[in-house]
């Protein structure tokens, strides 16, 4: 993408794309500068503003994507030192009562304001809600995800909302469209009793961008790539203990790498990390090839035609499109 670090003096917003390395370096610079000046906490009236931990957490994730494992490890250690902790209750973590809890590193604050009319709240939960009961039924779990959980993993039934089940909060799940599937994203489910009828379903549900569990897994992956398997094992086991699973049996760098990737799949399921993780770890063709994924093309999306036309020839379309 083109980098804009301010308003162009000549008013011309058409410029050539920067390289991926230049964009990453710009992001690193921005997040580093932000982390240096942001506070770690805010009063209740300002919850939702980005904190030092939020900036450092995003920076650690960027370093992981860059494969700069030393900096990913050091930066995630900085986040760990700030006092975050795992919410012991995986269900509570994703309900409105769990917002801005001990595990929240960065989340978008959402609410209901009827004065805004059709824009009276976030639709993040609504578009993923149970079809014609709570929402539109988009972005649903797959059978492959369902089968990825180990036996006894409590996260499975707290991630996947099923047709016919009664939630812990007492809602009977029943789709209003017989043609819809039978599984939905439980992480965005908002109990019926908490919904504000003045706004759309789930408008009060905050959007979790970065959790401490992710930070622990970033730290584990970076540590493992640096040869520090002991730290990686400790962090994986913290995640697995909450899921009521036994400690990992992985002990070598190779088996731990696979274990960490698997833990990311089930811990962060339905949180928009799966595709980027598959691409950055080189697993996309293995998992998505049967669905039509083409290496060298589908790692990137096409540049929209309007943008291509408006660039006056400055943009070069991504390979394969």
What is the model's pLDDT at position 115? 82
Domain boundary among 205, 225, 252: 205
CA distance 249 to 139: 33
Q: How do residues 85-121 score in pLDDT, each as one tens digit? A: 999 999 999 999 999 999 999 999 998 888 877 667 8
195 and 223 in a single domain? The answer is no
Number of domains in the chain: 2
Indicate whether 183 pLDDT > 80: yes
Task: Tell me if 220 sits within 8 A of 231, measured CB to CB.
Answer: yes
Domain boundary among 185, 205, 225: 205
Confirm whether 299 is domain-assigned: no
HSE (CB half, 13 Å, CA atoms) of 173? 25
CATH code, 274: 1.25.40.390
Task: Tell me if 220 sits within 8 A of 255, measured CB to CB.
Answer: no
80 and 221 in a single domain? The answer is yes
Confirm whether 310 is domain-assigned: no
Q: Which structural domain, as residue segments, surrounds residue 199?
A: 110-205
Indicate whether 9 pLDDT > 90: no
Indicate whether 182 pLDDT > 70: yes
91 and 212 in a single domain? The answer is yes
84 and 214 in a single domain? The answer is yes
98 and 213 in a single domain? The answer is yes
What is the model's pLDDT at position 28? 99
What is the model's pLDDT at position 30? 98
**Regarding predicted confidence, which is higher, 204 or 246?**
246
Confirm whether 243 is domain-assigned: yes
DSSP sequence for 93-139 = HTSGGGTT-TTEEEEE---B-GGGGGGSB--TTGGGSPBTTTB---S
Q: From start to end of 207-304, where are the E strands? A: 207-211
What is the pTM for the complete model shown? Answer: 0.95
Confirm whether 257 is domain-assigned: yes
* Residue 166 token pair: 């009664």
Considering 121-135, 155-169, 197-211, the range whose residues carry the highest mean pLDDT is 155-169
82 and 116 in a single domain? The answer is no
130 and 72 in a single domain? The answer is no
Q: How do residues 15-39 score in pLDDT, each as one tens digit? A: 899 999 999 999 999 999 999 999 9
């Amino acid at each position: 993408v083109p980098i804009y670090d301010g308003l162009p003096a000549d008013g011309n917003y058409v410029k050539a794309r920067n390289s991926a390395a230049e964009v990453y370096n710009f992001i690193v610079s921005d997040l580093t500068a932000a982390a240096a000046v942001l506070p770690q906490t805010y009063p209740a009236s300002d919850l939702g503003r980005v904190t030092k931990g939020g900036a450092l957490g995003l920076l650690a994730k960027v370093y992981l994507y860059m494969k700069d494992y030393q900096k990913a490890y050091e930066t995630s250690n900085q986040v760990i030192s700030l006092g975050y902790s795992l919410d012991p209750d995986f269900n509570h973590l994703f309900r409105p009562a769990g917002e801005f809890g001990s595990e929240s590193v960065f989340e978008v604050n959402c609410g209901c304001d009827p004065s805004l009319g059709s824009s009276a709240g976030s639709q993040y939960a609504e578009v993923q809600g149970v079809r014609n009961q709570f929402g539109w039924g988009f972005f649903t779990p797959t059978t492959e995800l369902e089968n990825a959980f180990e036996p006894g993993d409590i996260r499975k039934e707290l991630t996947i909302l099923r047709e016919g089940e009664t939630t812990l909060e007492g809602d009977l799940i029943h789709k209003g469209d017989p043609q819809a599937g039978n599984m939905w994203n439980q992480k965005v489910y908002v109990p019926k009793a908490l919904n504000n009828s003045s706004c759309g379903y789930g408008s009060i549900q905050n959007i979790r961008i970065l959790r401490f569990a992710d930070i622990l897994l970033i730290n584990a992956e970076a540590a493992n790539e640096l040869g520090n398997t002991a730290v990686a094992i400790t962090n994986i086991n913290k995640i697995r203990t909450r899921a009521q699973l036994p400690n990992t049996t992985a002990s070598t760098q190779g088996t731990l790498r696979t274990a960490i990737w698997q833990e990311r799949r089930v811990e962060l399921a339905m949180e928009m990390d799966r595709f980027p993780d598959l691409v950055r770890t080189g697993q996309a063709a293995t998992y998505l090839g049967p669905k039509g994924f083409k290496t060298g093309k589908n790692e990137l999306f096409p540049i929209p035609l309007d943008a291509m036309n408006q660039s006056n020839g400055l943009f070069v379309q991504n390979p394969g499109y």
